[in-house]
Structure 1
Amino acid sequence: MQGNLVHPNEKTYFTISLVVSILIYLSLILSIIGILYIILGFIITTLFHGIMMGSIRSNGVKITKQQFASVHEKTEELCSKMGISAIPDIFVIQEGGVLNAFATRLLGRNFIVLYSDIFELIETGEEAELEFVLAHELAHIKQRHITKNMLILPAMWIPFLGNAYSRACEYTCDRMAAYYTGNVDAAMNGLTILAIGKSLYHKVNRLEYITQSKAEGGFFVWLSHLLSSHPPLPLRILELETMALYAEVYGFTSSREAVVEHL
């Protein structure tokens, strides 16, 4: 089952990125200056990342058994299903209306950061959509994407290559989140929320949204896609709709009638 959930492009682009990164590391190691660059780069990256996480940890609201206990319990359930032994620290921060979340790692500890506007889904009856967001970020941890990104850091700076790998990882995490939550419809709703917001997402005609995306072409649309770390939201929704049509292959149930209607 795991093999079905990992997007095939993830393996391909990771292999290419790993080979490229190893070659770059070897070329740098051949000189003393190169070794210093590697060490300095690692120190600077860790320092700035540590400062950012220090701010989040000192200002954000941490999800615990005493703080938003239902979300903490759901996280424990998801970690158990996904085979994640150490539950990551989850913090909620306010970012001025931005709908976002991310997973990260610092000095051996995994973190998930939820922006408050996406976390507020628990107040509007969209707990299943928030669960998808959580499962998506947990999938990054399960797949060790953060560690792998550090390993292939030189390749991640190469135009198109690093972004292609990142986009494939996003498809993988969408698949895993839909599978482990067992709710592909909530997964598609979650992505639609990222497109238009929490109030209007249920009014969006997803078929029209996907058709619109396919109709928008040209050089700059193509270039923006290649330079983006995330696939366009309509393509991510379409990927999940296709997954829902073949739900039995992935071993979960879905509202097939709703999916067929959108397609």
Structure 2
Amino acid sequence: MNNKQLYLRMAVVGSILLGFYLLAAVVVSGLTGFPLLPILLVGIVLLPAFQYKLGKWLATRGAEEMPETGQYQEIHHMTETLCQRMDLPKPKLMVMEMGTPNAFATGRKGAGVVVVSTELLAILERDELEGVIAHELAHIKNRDVITMVIGQSIGTIVGYAAYFIVTALGERSMASIILGMVASMLANFLVMLFVLAISRYREYVADADAKAAIGGNGDPLARALEKIALGSEGRESTVDDSVAALCIFNSSGGLLQSLLRTHPPAEKRIQKLRS
């Protein structure tokens, strides 16, 4: 699967999400009598902005800013070089105990943050860490965090639309309210399946961009993923699910693991990096 295929898949899924949102906004407008434009404004601008600010604060609240001297000096120099190659302003670097070796990026281009765990720094060689940081920088450059926040906002709006439809068509009763809540959860779940698909695609793209940034050699990042996966076995992450979705490695799943996971299987990413 090349990058063009990945971008095409992301565009298709994004178009489906946009269709869900526009339909939901029209329905909410029709059932409540609110003008359509303010609903669109809330769903595309205000709600994502609030979720973005809150999510960034929650993700970094347990992290400490990485000093530019001492043991971290080389990491700052490495990041500056990568940012020059990727035409990206240098983000804030932070360090955090996560319970497992991991890293994540949050924020947007010009106001990004890259957080690495102390557990990660303890096991990676320099070139492997360079691959991981390049991967996180790619997420910031590609505006992945903003994309995911908008997707979650669409899920919220679609869920409300489903609730309004069910309660408007039924009698004003407790049963109608319960059915509306169930419909809302199911609608939100359906939208999130598409959001999670984008999440998996963006990991492949970030891997490919990181590979290009470190000279076209994907082996350092592949080795890093192998070490991260091995180092995570039998250890419990201390970050919550919302932050785990941002991390370079997330092994969580569910009953429908292939659909509900936020990341592709590590072995597939490693294989693609080495191909």
TM-score category (smaller protein): 0.5 to 0.7
Checking the alignment, whether the CA contact within 8 Å between 1:7 and 1:171 is kept in structure 2 is no
Task: Write the distance in 2 (CA, Å) between the matches of 1:188 and 1:54.
Answer: 26
Checking the alignment, whether the CA contact within 8 Å between 1:13 and 1:161 is kept in structure 2 is no
Q: Which has the higher contact order (CA 8 A, sep 6+)?
A: 2
Any idea what SS the aligned residue of 1:160 has?
A: helix
TM-score by length of 2: 0.65
Aligned pair 1:45/2:54, yes or no?
Answer: no
TM-score by length of 1: 0.68
Checking the alignment, whether the CA contact within 8 Å between 1:50 and 1:106 is kept in structure 2 is no
**What do the CA deviations read for 1:200-240 (whole angstroms, capped 9, x no partner)?**
xxxxxxxxxxxxxxxxxxxx999312211100011111111
**CA 1:238–1:50 in structure 2 vs 1: closer, same or farther (change >3 Å)?**
closer
- Structure 1 residue 117 displacement after superposition: 0.6
Aligned pair 1:71/2:66, yes or no?
Answer: no
Checking the alignment, whether the CA contact within 8 Å between 1:184 and 1:240 is kept in structure 2 is yes
User: What does residue 160 of structure 2 align with?
Assistant: none
Aligned pair 1:100/2:102, yes or no?
Answer: yes
Query: What is the letter of the counterpart of residue 10 of structure 1?
Result: Y
Aligned pair 1:166/2:168, yes or no?
Answer: no
Checking the alignment, whether the CA contact within 8 Å between 2:128 and 2:221 is kept in structure 1 is yes
**CA 1:138–1:15 in structure 2 vs 1: closer, same or farther (change >3 Å)?**
same
Task: Write the distance in 2 (CA, Å) between the matches of 1:54 and 1:241.
Answer: 32
What is the 5 A alignment of 1:244-259? none
What is the 5 A alignment of 1:146-165? 146-153=145-152, 154=154, 158-165=191-198
Q: Please, which moves more after superposition, 64-73 or 187-196?
A: 64-73
User: What does residue 258 of structure 2 align with?
Assistant: 225
Whichever of the two has the greater Rg, that structure is 2
**What do the CA deviations read for 1:38-84 (whole angstroms, capped 9, x no partner)?**
3774465245325415624xx51324356611100000000011111
Equivalent of 2:14 in 13, 17, 24: 17
Q: Please, which moves more after superposition, 140-149 or 128-137?
A: 140-149
Task: Write the distance in 2 (CA, Å) between the matches of 1:107 and 1:231.
Answer: 24
Checking the alignment, whether the CA contact within 8 Å between 2:138 and 2:206 is kept in structure 1 is yes
Checking the alignment, whether the CA contact within 8 Å between 1:6 and 1:172 is kept in structure 2 is yes
Task: Write the distance in 2 (CA, Å) between the matches of 1:149 and 1:90.
Answer: 22
- Structure 1 residue 181 displacement after superposition: 1.2
**CA 1:18–1:110 in structure 2 vs 1: closer, same or farther (change >3 Å)?**
farther
Task: Write the distance in 2 (CA, Å) between the matches of 1:13 and 1:222.
Answer: 24
Task: Write the distance in 1 (CA, Å) between the matches of 2:227 and 2:128.
Answer: 9
RMSD: 3.3
Aligned pair 1:87/2:93, yes or no?
Answer: no
- Structure 1 residue 13 displacement after superposition: 2.4
Checking the alignment, whether the CA contact within 8 Å between 2:78 and 2:130 is kept in structure 1 is yes
Q: Please, which moves more after superposition, 166-175 or 23-32?
A: 23-32
Checking the alignment, whether the CA contact within 8 Å between 2:254 and 2:261 is kept in structure 1 is no
User: What does residue 192 of structure 1 align with?
Assistant: 226
Aligned pair 1:111/2:118, yes or no?
Answer: no
**CA 1:104–1:11 in structure 2 vs 1: closer, same or farther (change >3 Å)?**
farther
Query: What is the letter of the counterpart of residue 164 of structure 1?
Result: A
Any idea what SS the aligned residue of 1:173 has?
A: helix
User: What does residue 139 of structure 2 align with?
Assistant: 140
Gaps of 5+ in 1: 199-219, 243-263
- How high is the sequence identity, in percent, across the aligned residues? 27
Any idea what SS the aligned residue of 1:64 has?
A: coil
Gaps of 5+ in 2: 157-187, 233-252
